[in-house]
Amino acid sequence: MSNGSLVHRVPTREKVVAFTFDDGPHPVFTRQVLDIFRKVNGKATFFMIGQEMDAFEELAKEVHAAGHEIGNHTYSHPDLTLLTQGEARGEIKQASERIRRVTGRHPSSFRPPYFAVNEDVFSLAAEFGYDVIGCVNGEAKDWEQPQPGVEYILEQTKATVDNGSIFLFHDGYGDRTQTVEAVRVLVAELADQGYRFVTIRELMELAGNSLLN
């Protein structure tokens, strides 16, 4: 449950990392990401937008069926700090309902769009029982359009690799070709180094919910 701060990494002695993907699902790039993790028997967390789940519900079901986690990224991707408390609650609740419809369970993690947070947003996250998830590789900026380049995304992310690191990438909205290629390379390298790829839920369980921010 949220303690009023973003979780960027969790303490663990195990060689595990959590890859997360925002703004999907997308019929091209999400499937490419699924293929990457299938080859290494790894799992990831997809912070999906409710509207995109409405548009591609069968794909969201594929993600869940493959054993990946679906996290809450609101229904329409607004800056929650610019909304009333009621409007923000509605955004989170609608997305949660879409996820429950696909997975049969309440999501356990939440990533606010643009990482825009304040006391009200943290309060809402606690109300829903969410961990509020950040990342360690924000400088990779894979969300920029045009994208900053495969090598740049890799360089900025590799500098943040550690046990329990949470990485942010995007599989929706815009051309994510560079992101997919960077993830393909990074997953292969980390697998060779003995890292396992786990969901946010699994990572939090490994750490016993002892947060390191």
pLDDT tens string 21-66: 999 999 999 999 999 999 999 999 999 999 999 999 999 999 999 9
What is the pLDDT, as a whole number, of residue 145? Answer: 86
Active site residue 22: yes
Which of 26, 73, 170, 171 does the annotation list as catalytic?
170
Pick the closest to residue 42 from 20, 61, 8, 68 (CA basis).
68
Residues lower than pLDDT 70 in the chain: 1-3, 209-213
What is the pLDDT, as a whole number, of residue 211? Answer: 45
Which of 8, 22, 73, 77 does the annotation list as catalytic?
22
- Alpha helical stretches, state H, 1-133: 29-39, 50-55, 57-65, 85-103, 119-128
What is the pLDDT, as a whole number, of residue 208? Answer: 72
CA distance 191 to 165: 14
CA distance 191 to 39: 10
What is the pLDDT, as a whole number, of residue 3? Answer: 63
